[in-house]
Structure 1
Amino acid sequence: MRKKSFSDALFNLRARLPGLSARESAGARRPPKNLSMLLREWHKRIGLAACIFMLWLGASGVMLNQSPAWGLDAKRIDWPWLMSMYGLRAEAPRSGFASGTHWLAMANDSVVLDGTVFDTTLRAPIGMTESSSGGARQLYMASQQELVIATPAGNRIDELTSAMLPVRSIQRIGVTRDGGGVVIQGGDAFVSVDGGLSWKPSPTAGVQWSEPDDLSPTQRSIVLRFARPSVPLEQILIDLHSGRLFGHYGEYVIDVVGIAAVLLAISGVWIVVRANRRRAPMR
């Protein structure tokens, strides 16, 4: 009697809730999933999962393609947290060059003269000297390919490239014993007493050559302010586009996105072909 009452109650509940019985009957009649249905379902899932990465790959690809036009190749980023991902950190050089009360050092790509950044294209200086060549006291800073002339206050006067010098490559720079001439050597030595306007052969005896000198702790602390590492924005975009910025794990993620794109293409073609075949008999 108790069992019959429970059955009657269940029957009455289903009668009052027609949606429940409809869902049960629809579930009972649901056909098994075929290959096309499975492909459609996974096509949607893979598409949603890869959407963000595909958007980023597309956007970064456009930025890399337009990098020269947009100036991204010239812009540099020095965010500390980003530099730590590259394993870069600020480090002041231990040596530089000195002449009288003036000193010169390199801080990454910047030339620091007497504690301030000097506006010059000079790279990898090999020496600095002070001379009264040309009448006034002037600073002469040299790299292998150029000679930069500046005032003691740090104002650039001129930059002489190797095409304007008597030597193809400067090996060292110095000053004559009386300080009236600047001497450069690249195999043979030449001296100028008119501020670099003309040069003539010179003996090396008695020349005071510029040599690297250790920076003081105070000088190193000053240079450290300008020694923050930086990376071109274009390089950051390349590393983000390829996933290398995040190491091997980033590369694996991009590989998975590439595989997902291939699967999306294959499943998409399959779905279209199957749909066209079904429509063909109806035409």
Structure 2
Amino acid sequence: MQQSSRRRFLPRLRPLQRGATAKPPKPKRNIIAVLREWHSRAGLVAFAFLIWLASTGILLTRSNDLGLDTARVDWPWLMDLYGLHAAPPQSGFAAGGHWLASTNDYTLVDGKPLATQISAPLGMVADDNPQMPMLYIASPSSVVLITPDGQRIDNLMPPILPISTVRRIGTLKTDPHTVVVQDLDAYQSHDEGNTWSPVSPTEVAWSRPEALPPAQSDKAMPYSKPRVIVEQVLIDLHSGRLFGPVGAWAITIVGGIAIVLAISGIWMWWRIRQNRKRMTSR
């Protein structure tokens, strides 16, 4: 009797036990909820990059006003990213016991920078006049007269120069105090460039580049450090190229994420609006 009553009770108990252990079914998540979750995660990832892009973009638009198109930096860690290293000039021009050398940002006479850089110097000659010694430094567009200690005296340009472009500079073999410049034709001057007359190029000792002595190379080293324009750094930061292919790809991916966020955000707004309309119409 006892066993039969237990048998009748067990079938009733088993459904209760199954009901106690059974887990309630998880509610289905709609697509808008899923998109919201991933939208917030992707937004956090893209946030820092978007601030980065916005900041560099603002600075680039005001680059001229802020002087960033001319300002230069030579931070060692930044130069390492660009793969730039100090490299003193290997050659220069010698005249009257003085040496002319040129780096990316400086024109050096005996290892000292001139107040104003001379672009692409192509030769130097000396006038050893005891009363007023001078050095003549030629560039394609002018001839600069300086004192041996680097003070600028004059800058000869056309029409004072008889030629439009200077190709080389030298002195007469028979008179080292007479300066000669040449483009197609050669002209000489014995009065500091005030008057010029034709001369045969064969009569001239032309200034030619020579290997820079180690002492002069050492003096040029502090002025040979590479520098980069700040505007260029901002451009490379904005595009990610400063960090190589990885940086460029990172910016590309962030741009793609931003597009996806914009499209999904508009779509979610539209779906929510449609759902609200349905709710209000009921």
Q: What range is the shorter-chain TM-score in?
A: 0.7 to 0.9
Q: Work out which of the residue numbers 197, 217, 222 in structure 2 matches 1:220.
A: 217
What is the one-letter code of the residue matched to 1:113?
V
**2:261 corresponds to 1:264:** yes
3-state SS of 2:156 partner = strand
Match status 1:71 vs 2:98 = no
Aligned equivalents of 1:229, 1:49: Cα separation in 2: 35
Letter in 1 for 2:196: W
Query: How far apart in 2 are the matches of 1:28 and 1:167?
Result: 97
> Are positions 1:142 and 2:143 aligned together?
no
The structure with the larger Rg is 2
* Partner Cα distance (2:61, 2:159) in 1: 36
| One-letter amino acid of the counterpart of residue 166, structure 1 | P
CA contact (8 A) 1:132 1:181 kept: no
8 A Cα contact 1:109 1:123, kept in partner: no
- Give the one of 95, 101, 113 matched to 1:99: 95
Report how far residue 214 of structure 1 moved.
Answer: 1.3
TM-score, normalised with respect to structure 2: 0.86
**What is the CA distance between 1:162 and its match in structure 2?**
4.3
Query: What do you get for the CA RMSD once the two structures are aligned?
Result: 2.4
Task: Confirm whether residue 178 of structure 1 aligns to residue 175 of structure 2.
Answer: yes
Within 2, Cα distance between the matches of 1:161 and 1:258?
Answer: 52
Mapped contact 1:131–1:175 kept (Cα < 8 A): no
Deviation at 1:120, TM superposition (A): 2.5
Aligned position for 2:238: 241
> What are the Cα deviations for residues 200-231 of structure 1, in whole angstroms up to 9, with x where unaligned?
22233432211111111111111111100011
Q: In structure 2, the residue corresponding to 1:83 is in which secondary structure?
A: helix
Which residue type is aligned with residue 238 of structure 1? I
Tell me which amino acid in the other structure corresponds to 1:226.
Answer: Y
For structure 2, list consecutive stretches of 5 or more residues without a partner in the other structure.
1-22
Alpha-carbon distance in 1 for matches of 2:159, 2:40: 65
SS in structure 2 at match of 1:225: helix
Are residues 1:33 and 2:40 paired? Answer: no
**Structure 1 120/198 Cα, relative in aligned 2: closer, same or farther at 3 Å?**
farther
Change beyond 3 A, Cα 1:163–1:71: farther
* Secondary structure class of the residue paired with 1:139: strand
The amino acid of 2:140's aligned partner reads Q
Percent sequence identity is: 44
Counterpart AA for 1:158? D
1:30 Cα deviation from its structure 2 partner? 5.2
1:128 maps to which of 124, 129, 139 = 124
Asked if the contact 1:104–1:113 (Cα under 8 Å) also holds between the matched residues in 2, the reply is yes
Which of 155, 158, 167 is the aligned partner of 1:159?
155
- C-alpha change, 1:132 and 1:166, in structure 2 (3 Å) is farther
Asked if the contact 1:100–1:130 (Cα under 8 Å) also holds between the matched residues in 2, the reply is yes
Q: Normalising by the residue count of structure 1, what TM-score does the alignment of the two structures yield?
A: 0.86
Find the counterpart in structure 2 of residue 278 from structure 1: 275
CA distance in structure 2 between the partners assigned to 1:85 and 1:193 by the alignment: 51
The residue number in structure 1 matching 2:198 is 201
Alignment equivalent of 1:229, drawn from 219, 226, 229: 226
Q: Distance in 1 between matches of 2:208 and 2:183?
A: 16
Q: 1:48 to 1:224 in 2, by over 3 A?
A: same
Partner of 1:103: helix, strand, or coil?
Answer: strand
| Residue 29 (structure 1) shift | 6.8
Which residue does 1:189 correspond to in 2?
186
Cα shift at 1:280: 1.8
Q: Is the 8 A contact 2:171 2:205 kept in 1?
A: yes
Letter in 2 for 1:247: G
Give the match's secondary structure for 2:201: coil
- The question of 1:111 aligning with 2:123 is answered no
Q: How many residues align?
A: 262
Q: How far apart in 1 are the matches of 2:159 and 2:45?
A: 59
